[in-house]
Amino acid sequence: MSYSLLCGVIAFIVSLLAGRPVVRLLRAKKLGKAISELGPSTHMVKAGTPTMGGLLSWGTVAAVTVPTNLYGRLSMLLPLSVLLATVAIGIYDDLGTLLTNAKYGGLSWRVKFILIGGIAMVAALVLHFSFDAHSVNVPWVGQLDIGPIYIAVAFLTVFATTSAVAITDGLDGLLGGTAAFAFAAYAVIAFMQEQIYLGTFSFTVVGALLGFLWFNAHPAQVFMGDAGALPLGATLATVALMTGHWLLLPVIGIVFVAEALSDVIQIAYFKTTGGRRIFRMAPLHNHLELLGWSEPQIVVRMWLVGFAAGMVGVALALTV
């Protein structure tokens, strides 16, 4: 584990050193984000903050993983491929949310869902046919073979996690911190299974996210953008599937689940009641902000929930 932790520390240092030049470059290229008028009015002061900062995290992950964790471990090509594919979608979408191109608005949700669905299906097929994955680890029960149904489950896992994680990206440091805890939990689970390469990859992601958080902490100097959020969800789901503990994703990622559910509930209630709302504004972090919680309060408290959820997930994995 010492080698894996060292890779995580190296990723943190690389991300930290590259952060300031990357932020300066994004500013020089005028890649400032336009803030939606549908969000809290307090967020309008953030207009113009550089976006696509997720490139810092994922560039670091790739730069560290290729020389330290790829040779003889070709299975790592799967999470790396998922990462790169979703980064490409995120970049294209982020370009449409810039101040200089705000009217474009990026990809429509329909197009985005189709693209994410395509990546999810490819990942599911590769896991089933190339990795021979067809089971689930159930706490207190053990490993259960679910056969070809695994393909549908894997598809839904990648698709749903990618969407839920992207919804969580709305406050300075919120997604980076909660995602770091989730990857750390799966790193521990991977080591419990002696999947050293997967644990190393997960710790590398944690280190890169911590370096990114140095610049994304409130008040953020750079936003993650979809170039960072979409790969986070897709890669986390892929790692979970590779451990066989994908059933624990809703536990370890409880913050992501709460954020996504608040959005779904709000939309469904709004449509069925002719315009009434349950939350002051969805997703959940916006609702809490309108209740009077400060941005740092919301972020730190959700970090605490994410950390506790990660511990619960590891504890449940030990029962298998």
Closest CA to 310 of 257, 235, 249: 249
Q: What is the CA radius of gyration of the chain?
A: 19
| Residue 38 reports pLDDT greater than 90 | no
Is residue 203 included in any domain, yes or no?
A: yes
Q: Is residue 172 situated within a structural domain?
A: yes
In a domain, 200, yes or no: yes
In order, the DSSP letters of 233-291 are HHHHHHHHHHHT-GGGHHHHTHHHHHHHHHHHHHHHHHHHTTS--SSSSSSHHHHHHHT
Ranking 81-85, 108-112, 187-191, 262-266 by mean pLDDT, the lowest is 108-112
Whether residue 288 lies inside any domain: the answer is: no
Q: Give the residue-averaged pLDDT of 61-85.
A: 93
Q: Which residues contact 57 (CB under 8 A, 6 or more apart)?
A: 15, 176, 205, 208, 209, 211, 212, 224, 228
Q: Are 276 and 270 in contact (CB under 8 A)?
A: yes
| pLDDT at site 200 | 97
In a domain, 98, yes or no: yes
Lowest-confidence pick of 39-43, 127-131, 248-252, 263-267: 39-43
Per-residue confidence band for 40, with pLDDT thresholds at 50, 70 and 90: low
For residue 138, what is the enclosing H or E element? strand 135-138
Does residue 103 surpass a pLDDT of 60? no
Q: Is residue 311 part of a domain?
A: no
| Within-domain flag for 282 | no
- Cα 94 to Cα 168: distance, rounded to the nearest angstrom: 16
Is residue 291 included in any domain, yes or no?
no
Taking the model in full, what pTM does it have? Answer: 0.94
Mean pLDDT throughout 31-54? 71
* Domain tally, the chain: 1
pLDDT at 121 (0 to 100): 98
Which range among 178-187, 252-261, 277-286 shows the weakest confidence by mean pLDDT? Answer: 277-286
Structure tokens at 92: 């294209």
> Domain range holding 84?
2-247
